[in-house]
Amino acid sequence: NAGVTQTPKFQVLKTGQSMTLQCAQDMNHEYMSWYRQDPGMGLRLIHYSVGAGITDQGEVPNGYNVSRSTTEDFPLRLLSAAPSQTSVYFCASSYAQLVSANEQFFGPGTRLTVL
Amino acid sequence: QQQVKQSPQSLIVQKGGISIINCAYENTAFDYFPWYQQFPGKGPALLIAIRPDVSEKKEGRFTISFNKSAKQFSLHIMDSQPGDSATYFCAASRSEKLVFGKGTKLTVNP
């Protein structure tokens, strides 16, 4: 199993550009989520999904869109990038819909810089 | 509003010493308290976790102590090793969301 994979590893955008961060898992996990990590801020939940076709907002959803058409994939879209979105983005997945029941498996991260 | 407060921000310990990281929470509905370990350039990985019906959980050199009445929990790393140098995050969850503390950067000097 590859686990949770994220692409790209690094990305530089100009303000106003759009892009999609890809996330895939091969563990047949129902729950997937996106976090951003900023220095001194810990990890903050952006969006999450408890199954295909179901998504919901986390703590910091503004400026980001998600969709979940398959169990395996959970892309994160930035429609109009802003410098405040410069961060390291982590995708995570777990077997059960309730995070309190299961370990979250994190991907290696995508480092995004918005100029 | 910060739901999980973690301290200290950074910690330097000598090899063989005890590392202690503390967390406090406000929401009494939280029912799961994991600790994650993150090495530079990597994603976080689950280290150890506890539920509020247990006061202590030990796995090897790592122990979680949980005080439900004080709404506090802590991570103790016994016999700290240079390989333990990493950033540690406490977290709390209920149902579908996991809330993280801001992290503690641990450095273990040889």
A44 to B9: CB separation less than 8 angstroms, yes or no: no
The shortest CB-CB distance from B98 to any of A4, A104, A107 is to: A104
What does the block give as tokens for B18? 């005890």
Using a 10 angstrom Cβ sphere, with 0-12 exposed, 13-18 middle and 19 or more buried, the burial of residue A84 is exposed
Alpha carbon separation from B107 to A3, A11, A93, B43, B89 (Å, rounded): 29, 30, 29, 18, 14
Banded pLDDT at A101 (limits 50, 70, 90): low
Residues 6+ apart with CB under 8 A from A85: A36, A63, A78, A112, A114
Identify the burial level of A69 via C-beta atoms within 10 angstroms of its C-beta, where 0-12 means exposed, 13-18 middle and 19 or more buried: exposed
Q: What is the mean pLDDT of residues A59-87?
A: 96
CA–centroid distance for B56 within its chain: 13
**A45·B49 Cβ contact <8 A:** no
Q: Name chain A contacts of B45, Cβ cutoff 8 Å.
A: 106
Residue of B nearest to A99 (CA): B96
Inter-chain contact A99–B96, Cβ cutoff 8 Å?
Answer: yes
Per-residue pLDDT tens for B13-72? 999 999 999 999 999 999 999 999 999 999 999 999 999 899 999 999 999 999 999 999
